[in-house]
């Protein structure tokens, strides 16, 4: 058997960090990361980015050494990705926070609105309905994280969790403060406005869940295989005919429904910021689909049919 020699250099300084002798040709990048980790325990595999060029793209864990454009003596460059945290932990933290924070304002715990309002409840039914919808949304997200989502990447940089939690937790506190405020006034068009908004909210929640199930079914457990998502027998997935990321479309629709229901400016701003961010994500995924699949449906747009 022909063995490989793998030299790992620091991607910034070009300093030699490790030399691996007699590496099997069918070894994967993940296995090379494990060998490197034995020499440098401070850099566990999830922190490592291995590249053939210092400024190139990271190699995939499933890439096989003998299939890479290298000789029997391979030079690989290492970059430290920093401390990592699992995506499951990130999502659970992001979503549990808004759920609990909103309930603190809903139950009017002390030191929020003043002593005479401690543990009192609003006289408006829309306030109670809004709490149910908000809680339902984040409980759904938590359950999907635990039982539905399959992540192509196991971890993300630890520093990102602080940014993400500031966004989710901060907006949850801001909107909850006004919706549950003793001086809150109900929507201008009364129960009809609330009913229509509730229908939109629930419709989009079911749609979002349907898309997540469809995406889960595309990827077997433990696999990182990517496939083109197509509509299924579930009518909520028919948006795949025109959109690459209908889960984001439904998510934005849910928050628009919640904003109409509560007629609350912070909710509207949260919907707008979320739409901008999800549009960026959707465009990135759309470009990735087009690059990876030559037969990708040409009629699809990233998030809004025929527009965006």
Strand boundaries in the chain, DSSP class E: 4-10, 16-23, 48-51, 73-80, 84-86, 155-157
Q: List 75's β-bridge partners, or say none.
A: 7
Q: What is the pLDDT of residues 210-238, one digit of tens each?
A: 999 999 998 876 666 788 999 999 999 99
**C-alpha separations of 27 from 17, 30, 39 in Å:** 19, 8, 17
Interval 236-280: pLDDT, tens = 999 999 999 999 999 999 999 999 999 999 999 999 999 999 999
What are the pLDDT digits (tens) for 167-215? Answer: 999 999 999 999 999 999 999 999 999 999 999 999 999 999 999 999 9
Rounded CA separation 94/300 (Å): 30
Instruction: Find tokens 């006004």 and name the residue.
Output: 178
Please report the pLDDT score of residue 210 as a whole number: 97
DSSP assignment letter at 151: -
What residues are paired with 23 via a beta bridge? 4
What token pair was written down for 9? 């250099």
Q: How large is the average pLDDT for residues 34-58?
A: 90
* Domains, in order of start, for the chain: 4-82 (3.10.20.90), 85-292 (no CATH)
User: How confident is the model at residue 1, as a pLDDT?
Assistant: 65
- Give dist(CA 129, CA 131) in Å, integer: 5
* CA–CA distance, 128 with 106 (Å, rounded to integer): 8
pTM value is 0.87
């Amino acid at each position: 058997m022909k063995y490989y020699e793998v030299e790992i250099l620091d991607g910034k300084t070009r300093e030699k960090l490790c030399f691996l002798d007699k590496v099997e040709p069918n070894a994967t990048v993940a296995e090379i990361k494990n060998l490197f980790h034995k020499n440098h325990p401070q850099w566990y595999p999830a922190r490592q980015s291995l590249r053939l060029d210092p400024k190139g793209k990271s190699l995939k864990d499933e890439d096989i050494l003998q299939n890479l454009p290298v000789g029997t003596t391979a030079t690989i460059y290492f970059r430290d990705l920093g401390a990592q945290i699992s995506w499951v932990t990130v999502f659970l933290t992001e979503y549990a926070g808004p759920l609990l924070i909103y309930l603190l304002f809903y139950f009017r715990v002390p030191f929020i609105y003043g002593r005479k309002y401690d543990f009192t409840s609003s006289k408006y039914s829309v306030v109670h309905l809004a709490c149910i919808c908000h809680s339902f949304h984040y409980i759904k997200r938590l359950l999907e994280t635990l039982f539905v989502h399959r992540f192509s990447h196991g971890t993300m940089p630890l520093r990102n969790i602080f940014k993400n939690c500031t966004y989710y937790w901060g907006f949850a506190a801001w909107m909850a403060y006004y919706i549950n405020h003793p001086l809150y006034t109900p929507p201008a068009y009364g129960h009809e406005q609330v009913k229509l908004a509730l229908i939109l909210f629930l419709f989009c929640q079911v749609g979002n869940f349907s898309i997540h199930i469809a995406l889960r079914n595309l990827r077997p457990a433990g696999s990182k295989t990517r496939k083109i998502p197509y509509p299924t027998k579930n009518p909520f997935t028919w948006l795949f005919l025109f959109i690459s990321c209908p889960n984001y479309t439904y998510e934005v629709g849910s928050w628009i429904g919640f904003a109409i229901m509560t007629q609350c400016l912070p909710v509207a701003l949260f919907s707008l910021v979320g739409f901008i961010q999800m549009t960026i994500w959707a465009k990135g995924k759309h470009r990735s689909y087009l690059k990876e699949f030559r037969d990708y449906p040409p009629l699809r747009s990233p998030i809004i049919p025929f527009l965006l």
